[in-house]
Amino acid sequence: MSLTDLAQEILTSAKMLDERGLVDPESKLGFRNLSPTDYNIRSRLIDAIQELNRLALGPTEYLYSLYMTGCIQMVGLHAVARYNIPQKVPNDGIKIKDLGNELKMDEQILGRLVRQAIVHGIFQEPEPDLITHSNLSRLLRDDSDWLHLAQFYTEDSWAAAALELDALEKWPASHDPCHTGFNLAHKTTDPFFDALGSDPSRLKRVAGMFRAVQTMLLQGPDKLTSSPLWNEIDKPGSKVVDIGGNSGYISQQLAEVTKDVCFVVQDRPEVVRMAEEQLPAAFRSRISFRAHDFFHEQPIRGAQVYFIRKILHDWPDYLAIKIIQNIIPALADGSYIVICDRILPDRARSGYEEKEARSSDVNMLLHLNGRERTEDDWKKLFAAADTRLKVEFEYWESSAHCLIKALWLG
């Protein structure tokens, strides 16, 4: 497409969203009540903007931006997160000198780092040396989950990404979850989640990051809660085992759209302790917690659903198969193993959603040697676990994920 064609696509899509009254600059999402059609318009808008940017820059400037700017910009973003600068900036702003005094940092260096964040929309500088909030910095100030996400990716993931190729060279063709960039960067022989358990501050960052991601248009639980499966099993005595359910935030979403189902959230002991303290009183009659390692046999028998959301992508195939097989002895006739996870396209293309998907795939690699999977990959995974599982896919329009329902026919 030409520059003019792309500009016209941008204008057309933007007008359609404006005319629908969907743009909400003050909200976290930036939009309100997007239907699948509206979501697709937004996707076309983003893709056209990115393609226009690439075409306008040309190959040399685009590659320079991709490699040089993309790498170096992390320093300023890291400083914002590590020093929690959004919390240090009052509503009427702060002089860089005063901010430097509070942080005990050199004024000149701090100014350079903050200005690097400003070019990405985090903070503003309405007059020389005065730093004020933008909508992005306010989000980091007001929502601790989003600050934790920023801290996780700059403190934990950035270093792991830098050493992933060193890990591949040290352990060629290894699928061991302890042979990763994360292990090299953080000098640990433990797998990612074990390392988290020994560091409360890192555990807190990851829990916040998980919650933040659920609020994204591309990632959120709204499609999950609308699945007809939950109405099908919503009967007195029904039980859902939420395996690796962290703080139970998804079980809470599901409890709101069901009446009789009870939920047991399983996770590591330190996660369970934190989650039990944080569970809102309104859910305590229907949601409970139990420490469980999913690499051991499932102790709760005969539940209607054994639910695994965004867990199996953390693990290489041989361990994902083991996780599924550890549930099978607990299944009753008609029980489901239900996976909510991403389905990768069979081939790559450019575009915002594809970029996010491929980044997620490599993210799994550098932390745990895990992977995102295509539909065919998922079918092979279940077939390897047990051929008595009948697998169906429930796709959702304008969602990065789908529901994989494996009915037990044993």
Q: Which residues are catalytic?
A: 313
Residue 217: both structure tokens together: 């248009």
Q: Is 341 helix (H, G, I), strand (E, B) or coil?
A: strand
Which residue has 């919503």 as its token pair? Answer: 234
C-alpha dihedral sign at 67, 68, 73, 75: positive
Which residue has 């047990």 as its token pair? Answer: 386
Which residue has 């697998």 as its token pair? Answer: 391
Q: How far apart (Å, rounded) are the C-alpha atoms in residues 204 and 136?
A: 21
Q: How far apart (Å, rounded) are the C-alpha atoms in residues 82 and 361?
A: 26
* DSSP assignment string, 3-64: HHHHHHHHHHHHHHHHHTT-B-TTSSSSBSS--HHHHHHHHHHHHHHHHHHHHHHHHHHHHH
Kindly tell me the burial class for residue 114, based on how many C-beta atoms sit within 10 Å of its own C-beta (0-12, 13-18, 19 or more): buried
Q: Which residues pair with 227 in a beta bridge?
A: none
Q: Which residues pair with 290 in a beta bridge?
A: 266
Q: 126-131 long-range contacts, Cβ below 8 Å, gap at least 24?
A: 126/93, 129/95, 129/96, 129/97, 130/93, 130/94, 130/95, 130/96, 131/89, 131/93, 131/94, 131/95, 131/96, 131/99
Element holding 94 (H helix, E strand): strand 94-95
Kindly tell me the burial class for residue 200, based on how many C-beta atoms sit within 10 Å of its own C-beta (0-12, 13-18, 19 or more): exposed
Which residue has 């759209």 as its token pair? Answer: 257
If you compute the radius of gyration of the chain from its CA atoms, what whole number of angstroms results?
Answer: 23
